[in-house]
Amino acid sequence: MRVQSLTLAVAGVALLAPSLAAAAEPRAAAESSARREGDVRASDLLARVRDCTRISHGRFRADHGKRANVAVCGTRHAVFWKTDMDIDCDGQPGPRCNRRTDPLFSAATAYQQSDGRPLNAERLPYVVVPAAGSVWNPAADGVRGGSIAAVVYRDRVQYAVVGDVGPRGLIGEASYATAKGLGINPDPRRGGVSSGVTYIVFRNSQARPIESHTAAVTAGRRLAWRFVLGE
């Protein structure tokens, strides 16, 4: 009886193995398909921006009172900078972003939704670029309102749009939703992170409408994949 049981057990394993393999095939195919469709890892993007060809005529400060040491770098298809992240809560007021939670709150953003209202920092991942000046003019390098960005922090990638404009001499700011998506404390008073954030903006790209995060992600994945491949 023990021999017969053993024979049946072995046969069962033999039958089970193809079933496990068959179950694994669709999963592997799905992962491979997702990869082909443009899912790019943080490490892929960081490897592509390891070297800097500076396009800014000088450097920016990460915060008031700090040394100006942040350069804007460029490739054929993107511009990028590496610095901190301060939290921008401007735009439509909500429970997390309002005059009570943020002493610097503004109900306006430099760019507006398709219905004319300001952007919503709580819901929409967006980044802030400096106002045009002698150090750098974003528009001259194909960076405008609605341009698509990939923001990288540690092992996370958050697709976003250019949604607001900040002071000429400062750089390194993004919306509440951007920080939250990257696992960074999004609180406008005590949140943000002091270093380790990479902002990549794809030249002459555009999310339409600007308030559609789905549009930014769809185009961002495609642009990021091309960027990593050097196309």
Q: Give the pLDDT confidence of 147-171 residue by residue, as tens digits.
A: 999 999 999 999 999 999 999 999 9
Is residue 9 scored above 50 in pLDDT? Answer: no
Give the confidence band of 34 by pLDDT, cuts at 50, 70, 90: very low
Domains of the chain, by residue range, sit at 1-36, 42-229
What's the pLDDT band for 231 if we cut at 50, 70, 90? Answer: confident
Q: Specify the residue for token string 């021999």.
A: 3
Query: Which CATH topology does 42-229 take?
Result: Barwin-like endoglucanases (2.40.40)
What residues contact residue 23 under an 8 Å CB cut-off, 6+ apart?
A: none
pLDDT in tens, 76-114: 999 999 999 999 999 999 999 999 999 999 999 999 999
pLDDT bucket at 21, cuts 50 / 70 / 90: very low
pLDDT given for residue 39 in this prediction: 84
CA 138 to CA 135: how far, in whole Å? 10
Does the pLDDT at position 25 exceed 70? no
What average pLDDT does the chain have? 88
**What percent of the chain is modeled with pLDDT above 90?**
82
pLDDT, position 8? 36
Q: Where are the beta strands (DSSP E) in 167-224?
A: 173-175, 193-202
Task: State the pLDDT confidence band at 129, using cuts at 50, 70 and 90.
Answer: very high
Contacts of 142 (CB under 8 A, 6+ apart): 79, 203, 204, 205
pLDDT recorded at residue 216: 97
Residues 121 and 193: their CA atoms lie apart, in Å, by 17
In the predicted model, is pLDDT for residue 33 greater than 50?
no
Distance of alpha carbon 41 from alpha carbon 31, whole angstroms = 13
